[in-house]
Each structure stands twice: as C-alpha cells, then as structure tokens.
Structure 1
Amino acid sequence: MIRASCHTADNALALEFDATPWFREANALSILHLAEKGWSSVWVADALEARPGYEGLHRLIDYAATRLRDESLEDPTWAAIECVVSQPDATQWLGENRPEIALLLQRRQADPGSRSTHPADR
C-alpha cells in the first residue's frame, strides 16, 4: 500500500488514502515528475477520486472546488488542496512492482543534472 494524504487549504477536510492504483497505471514520466515535485501533487487525487472506495476523496475535491473556488479565482497560484504521497511507501512499492521505474529514480538521484522529465526543461 502506498499511503497518501490530502487536505483542503482551510484544513476543513483531510484524509488518507491508498495511492497504489495510480502507481499501477501511471506511466514512468508521470511518476518521475511526481518524485521531482517532492511527491506532492493533486494529480494522484484527481485520478482516483471518481473510483469506488474513494468517495471521501471525491468529497474533499468537491468541497475545494465549490467552497474554496472564490479564493482560487482571486489568486490562480493558490492551491485549494495539498496532496502528498509517502515517498518511502512509493519507492518500496516501485522497487517491488515496477523495478524499471525504481531504477530510473535511483539514477536521477545519483545524477542531479538529469532531474527534469521534460526536454524543454533541460
């Protein structure tokens, strides 16, 4: 299980959830990009919130989209939700289930110059 947590910017809602399905389906570049972002991104929550068993995540996203909408419209850089994936859980799971991606992560950590997953960023 890859633990992840999300909370709204006003801390009215927070929850933990299993991010494993996202890691099972995500392509290597998406996972590498998540790692570059410090294992913090709403992409994982967005991808899982409509699935059965993720109703709490759906409520959190819906709350942020409706109740916190005005604040996010005033400042487009303001994040209504923050989500973080457990890096130890993710790297362990990747090593056991997607070793090719785990190897890419190890190589990127060893060579900081190769961090970007996007050619335009290099």
Structure 2
Amino acid sequence: MIRASCHTADNRLAFEFDATPWFREANPHSIRHLAEQGWSSVWVADALERRPGYEGLHRLIEYATTRLREESLEDPSWPTLDCVVNQPDATRWLTENRPEIAAMLWSRTTAS
C-alpha cells in the first residue's frame, strides 16, 4: 500500500487514501515527474477520485473546486488543495513491483 493524503487549503477537509492503483497504471514519466515535485501533486487524486472506495476523495476535490474556487480566482496561483504521497511507501512499492522505474529514480538522485 502506498499511503497518500490530501487536504483543502482551508483545512476543512482531509482524506487519506491508497495511491497504489495510480502507481500501477502510471507511465514512468508521470512517476518521475511526481518524484521531482517532492511526491506532491493533485494528479494522483484526480486520477483516483471517481473510483469506488474513493468517494471521500471525490468530495474533497469537489469542495476544493467549487467552494474554494472563488478565492482562487483572486489569486490563480493559490492552490485549493494539496496532496502528498508517502515517499518511503512509494519507493518500496516501486522497488518491489516496478523495479525499472525505481532504478531510474535512484539513478537520477545519485547523479544529482
């Protein structure tokens, strides 16, 4: 299991979820980009929110996009929600299940 969590900018809603389905289906470029973003991105939540079992995540995203949208219109750079993937969980899972991606990520971090 790859733990992840999202919360709205106003901290009214938060949701913890399993991001493993996203990692199973994501292409290597998307995973690398997520890692480069500090394992923080709403893409994972966007991809999973409509799946069964992720109804809480859907409600959180819906709230962030409808209720907080007015505030974000004043400052388009203001994020209405934040989502973070647990990096140790992701690294462990990738090593066990998608070792070619784990190796790619490892080579990029050691080359830096």
Assess same fold via TM > 0.5.
yes
What amino acid maps onto 1:87 in structure 2?
A: Q
Give 2:11's aligned residue: 11
1:72: Cα distance to partner?
Answer: 1.1
Q: Equivalents in 1 of 2:73, 2:52: separation in Å? A: 30
Runs of 4+ in structure 1 deviating by more than 2 angstroms, as ranges, are none
Give 1:87's aligned residue: 87
What amino acid maps onto 1:41 in structure 2?
A: S
- Given the two structures, how large is their TM-score scaled by the length of structure 2? 0.99
1:74: Cα distance to partner?
Answer: 1.1
Q: Equivalents in 2 of 1:35, 1:19: separation in Å? A: 14
Give 2:45's aligned residue: 45
Q: Equivalents in 1 of 2:99, 2:74: separation in Å? A: 43
What amino acid maps onto 1:73 in structure 2?
A: L
1:39: Cα distance to partner?
Answer: 0.1
Q: Name stretches of at least 5 consecutive residues in structure 2 with no aligned partner.
A: none
Paired residue total = 112
Q: Equivalents in 1 of 2:29, 2:75: separation in Å? A: 29
Give 1:76's aligned residue: 76
Spell out, residue by residue over 1:19-52, the C-alpha distance to the aligned partner (whole angstroms, 9 max, x if none): 0000000000000000000000000000000001
Indicate yes or no: 2:20 matched with 1:20. Answer: yes
Q: SS in structure 1 opposite 2:40?
A: coil
Spell out, residue by residue over 1:53-105, the C-alpha distance to the aligned partner (whole angstroms, 9 max, x if none): 10000000000011101111111110000000000000000000000000001
Q: Equivalents in 2 of 1:66, 1:36: separation in Å? A: 29
RMSD: 0.4
